[in-house]
Copies of this chain bind each other. A is one copy, B any other.
Amino acid sequence: MNNLDESLLTPLALFSKLDRAQIRTILDLATPCRFDLGATVFEEGQEAEFFYLLLDGYVRVVRLTPEGDQVIALHIPSGHLFGIAAALGHTTYPATSVAAAECVCLSWPMKLLQEFLTTYEGLSTGVYGAVGQRVEDMNNRILELATQQVEQRVANALLRLVQQTGHKTDEGIEIGFPITRQDISEMTGSTLHTVSRLLSAWEREGTIKSTRKKIVVTDPHKLVRHST
């Protein structure tokens, strides 16, 4: 029996339909864990032993091609589940997960997932809703990759990052975790050179400010114009 506080879960939309006792039960089965920036939570193809709830930080989901190119599939913000492969019939993880910032998580053995979903009616709606959200994101990503130019894709990627992870500073909205040109190129199917050129141009025209691993969007409206 661990002593995790119920207030960890009660504010999360995912658990909003559960009562205190149910949350207590779930919490008592959880194992807390921490990951340093850059640490790997699990790798593509591994037996899917655990699923996770991200309490704080950001997790980056990446895939690797046989040729060695890396593609960033999505970023998970705190409060969301990840590694829920088994809910969709997988027994191995379909992608690698890496901590994009210091991360605090809870984990449960994968076999509990099916149990949770059937036992706690309210949970499955939320879980499958989240899956649906990700499917939609992926769909939009495909649309973008198939029809848009690199400039638009990079602008869209930044806008999404700002929207999902941004926090206000006195200069504008800053992306919530360290991110490199290389990372952005892997999110957009591009190269770090092209991304660097674009960001330089945008910095010159006053749309963003950027230092090493940090990007602040000062004029989101201009970015939106670049995105269409």
Residues in B whose Cβ lies below 8 Å from that of A135: 88, 94, 131, 134-135, 138
Assess A132 versus B90: contact at CB under 8 Å? Given A145-B145, A189-B145: yes
> How far does the alpha carbon of A141 sit from the alpha carbon of B90 in the complex, in Å?
18
Tell me the A136-167 residues at the B interface (CB within 8 Å): 136, 138-139, 141-143, 145-147
Of B85, B125, B136, B143, which is within 8 A of A65 by CB? Answer: B143
Number of chain A residues whose Cβ lies closer than 8 Å to a Cβ of chain B: 34
Q: Would you call A95 an interface residue if the criterion is a C-beta within 8 Å of the partner chain's C-beta atoms?
A: yes
Of B66, B73, B89, B139, which is within 8 A of A94 by CB? Answer: B139
Q: Would you call A67 an interface residue if the criterion is a C-beta within 8 Å of the partner chain's C-beta atoms?
A: yes
Residues in B whose Cβ lies below 8 Å from that of A147: 65, 67, 69, 71, 189
A contact patch SS: helix
Cβ proximity bits A101-124 to B, threshold 8 Å, 1 near / 0 not: 000000000000000000000000
Tell me the A68-114 residues at the B interface (CB within 8 Å): 69, 71, 73, 85, 87-90, 94-95
Assess A143 versus B71: contact at CB under 8 Å? Given A136-B94, A138-B135, A138-B138: yes
Q: Would you call A63 an interface residue if the criterion is a C-beta within 8 Å of the partner chain's C-beta atoms?
A: yes
> How far does the alpha carbon of A136 sit from the alpha carbon of B88 in the complex, in Å?
10
Residues in B whose Cβ lies below 8 Å from that of A131: 88, 131, 135
Interface contacts beyond A87-B132, A142-B145: sample of 10 additional A-B pairs, CB < 8 Å, sorted by A: A63-B143, A73-B139, A73-B142, A89-B128, A89-B132, A90-B132, A90-B136, A138-B138, A146-B189, A147-B189
Q: Which 4 A-B pairs have the closest CB atoms?
A: A88-B132, A146-B189, A89-B129, A145-B145
